[in-house]
Amino acid sequence: MVEPPPSLPLDTGIKARKLRAVIEITRFDKPIGTFLLLAPTLWGMVLANQGYPPWGLLCLFVAGAIVMRSAGCVANDLADRNLDGHVERTRLRPLVSGALSVPEALFLLVGLLSIALMLVALTNPLTIKLSIAGLALALIYPLMKRVTHLPQIVLGLAFSWSIPMAFAASMNTLPSALWWLFVANLLWTVIYDTQYAMVDREDDLTVGIKSTAILFGHLDVRIIGLLQGLCVVAFCCCGVAFDLGMAYYAAIVAVGLLFTRHLWFIKDRDTQQCFRAFNQSKWIGVLILSGLCADFWLRSVALD
pLDDT in tens, 198-254: 998 988 888 888 999 999 999 999 999 999 999 999 999 999 999 999 999 999 999
Domain 15-303 has CATH 1.10.357.140: yes
Model confidence at 25: pLDDT above 50: yes
What DSSP assignment string belongs to 128-148?
A: HHHHHHHHHHHHHHHHHHHH-
- Confidence grade of residue 5 (pLDDT, cut at 50, 70, 90): low
Model confidence at 6: pLDDT above 80: no
CA triple 22-27-28, angle to 5 deg:
80
End-to-end CA distance of the chain: 74
**How high is the pLDDT of residue 170?**
97
- What percentage of the chain reaches a pLDDT higher than 70? 96
Model confidence at 181: pLDDT above 50: yes
- What percentage of the chain reaches a pLDDT higher than 90? 79
Model confidence at 264: pLDDT above 60: yes
**CB 36 within 8 Å of CB 282:** yes
Model confidence at 134: pLDDT above 90: yes
- Confidence grade of residue 8 (pLDDT, cut at 50, 70, 90): very low
What separation in angstroms does the CA of 143 have from each of 45, 71, 79, 191, 197? 30, 15, 7, 20, 16
Average pLDDT, the chain: 92
**CB 137 within 8 Å of CB 154:** yes
**CB 59 within 8 Å of CB 95:** no
Domain ranges of the chain: 15-303
